């Protein structure tokens, strides 16, 4: 009985592994993420998403026609109780090149952000700057982040509801200084798949004591909204994510994306002065 259960679990893990790997591979191809000679800095926070990203990228590296390097990088933000030995031990166990960057951004965030206010914005900026410095020092031309499909949808609605703009996390972009290309290999992967996969793999998850400890974030509100929609209307998230890939600038209101001012009918030049016509 135990053997049958173990075989069933192993079969389930293998099927899910193939599904996630195929989805990541599709994203790599669709957005032309990786080329020969790339050196990827894969950012590991100790959460399920970044563990899964590293796991799948290492599998693709072994089987891929691309010749690229991976270096796993963790930013130790000096959070109280952070288990410093966990990630190095994991990196050693899977045989990946790695570096742990130590920077006390935790104290800065706690000092600058009033109690009860959202820490994510400042924490993200500090992390980003530190990781860019590390990427330059390590000679990496691309930086991989572990955001998944649900993160991208949530960000879309956060910007729509609270920032008044239609924008989200892209699968691939270049930094403002043109130094690095930033990739999100899990951009097409569902969070539910990552949760299930992480349970199979038994990753040594490290909780975040900053944003992870804030229960009333607007992101959590949006997450619950999307979960409610999906429960009531199955595949709602699938449809909404597909919409992010089917944008019609001519049917929006952004004059920077479409030249509405110079939009004229071909008939305009043929119309005589004084000609009357019905506006449709």
Task: Look up the pTM and report it.
Answer: 0.86
Pull the structure tokens for residue 184: 């999100």
If you average pLDDT over residues 249-259, what whole number do you get?
A: 93
Residues 185 and 27 sit within 8 Å (Cβ to Cβ): yes
| pLDDT tens string 50-90 | 999 999 999 999 987 889 999 999 988 777 778 889 999 99
Task: Extract the runs of DSSP E, i.e. beta strands, from the chain.
Answer: 39-43, 69-76, 97-102, 142-144, 172-174, 181-183
Q: Name which CATH class applies to 2-251.
A: alpha beta
Residues 72 and 42 sit within 8 Å (Cβ to Cβ): yes
Q: What is the SS3 assignment for 175?
A: coil
Enumerate the domain spans of the chain. Answer: 2-251
The position carrying tokens 């609605």 is: 157
Rounded Cα distance between 183 and 18, Å, is: 21
Rounded Cα distance between 184 and 28, Å, is: 9
Give the best-scoring range by mean pLDDT among 56-65, 71-80, 120-129, 139-148: 139-148
* pLDDT at 134 > cutoff 50: yes
| pLDDT tens string 201-249 | 999 999 876 555 455 578 889 999 999 999 999 999 999 999 999 999 9
Q: What is the SS3 assignment for 41?
A: strand
Q: What are phi and psi of 170, to 5 degrees?
A: -80, 160
Rounded Cα distance between 14 and 176, Å, is: 40
Rounded Cα distance between 135 and 141, Å, is: 7
Residue 277, pLDDT score: 45
Pull the structure tokens for residue 211: 């944003």
Residue 271, pLDDT score: 53
Helix (H) or strand (E) holding 26: helix 2-30
Which DSSP letter does residue 117 get? S
* pLDDT at 113 > cutoff 70: no
Which DSSP letter does residue 116 get? T
Burial per residue of 234-272, b for 16 or more beta-carbon CB atoms within 10 angstroms, e otherwise: eeebeeebeeeeeeeeeeeeeeeeeeeeeeeeeeeeeee
> How many Cβ atoms sit within 10 Å of the Cβ of residue 96?
18
């Amino acid at each position: 009985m135990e053997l049958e259960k173990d075989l069933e679990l192993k079969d389930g893990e293998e099927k899910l592994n193939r599904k996630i790997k195929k989805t990541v591979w599709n994203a790599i191809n669709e957005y032309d993420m990786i080329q020969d000679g790339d050196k990827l800095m894969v950012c590991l926070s100790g959460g399920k998403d970044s563990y899964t990203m590293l796991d799948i990228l290492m599998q693709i590296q072994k089987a891929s026609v691309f010749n690229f390097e991976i270096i796993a990088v963790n930013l130790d933000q000096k959070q109280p109780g952070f288990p410093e030995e966990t990630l190095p031990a994991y990196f050693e166990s899977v045989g990946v090149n790695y570096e742990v960057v130590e920077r006390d951004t935790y104290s800065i965030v706690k000092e600058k952000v009033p109690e009860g206010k959202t820490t994510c914005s400042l924490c993200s900026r500090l992390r980003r700057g530190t990781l860019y410095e590390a990427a330059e020092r390590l000679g990496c031309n691309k930086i991989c982040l572990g955001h998944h499909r649900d993160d991208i949808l949530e960000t879309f609605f956060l910007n729509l509801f609270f920032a008044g703009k239609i924008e989200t996390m892209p699968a691939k972009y270049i930094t403002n200084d043109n130094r690095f290309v930033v990739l999100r290999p899990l951009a097409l992967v569902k969070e539910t798949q990552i949760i299930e996969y992480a349970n199979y793999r038994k990753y040594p998850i490290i909780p975040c004591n900053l944003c992870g400890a804030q229960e009333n974030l607007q992101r959590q509100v949006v997450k619950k909204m999307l979960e409610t929609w999906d429960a009531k209307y199955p595949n709602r998230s699938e449809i909404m994510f597909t919409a992010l890939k089917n944008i019609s600038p001519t049917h929006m209101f952004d004059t920077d994306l479409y030249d509405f001012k110079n939009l004229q009918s071909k008939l305009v030049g043929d119309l005589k002065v004084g000609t009357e016509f019905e506006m449709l």
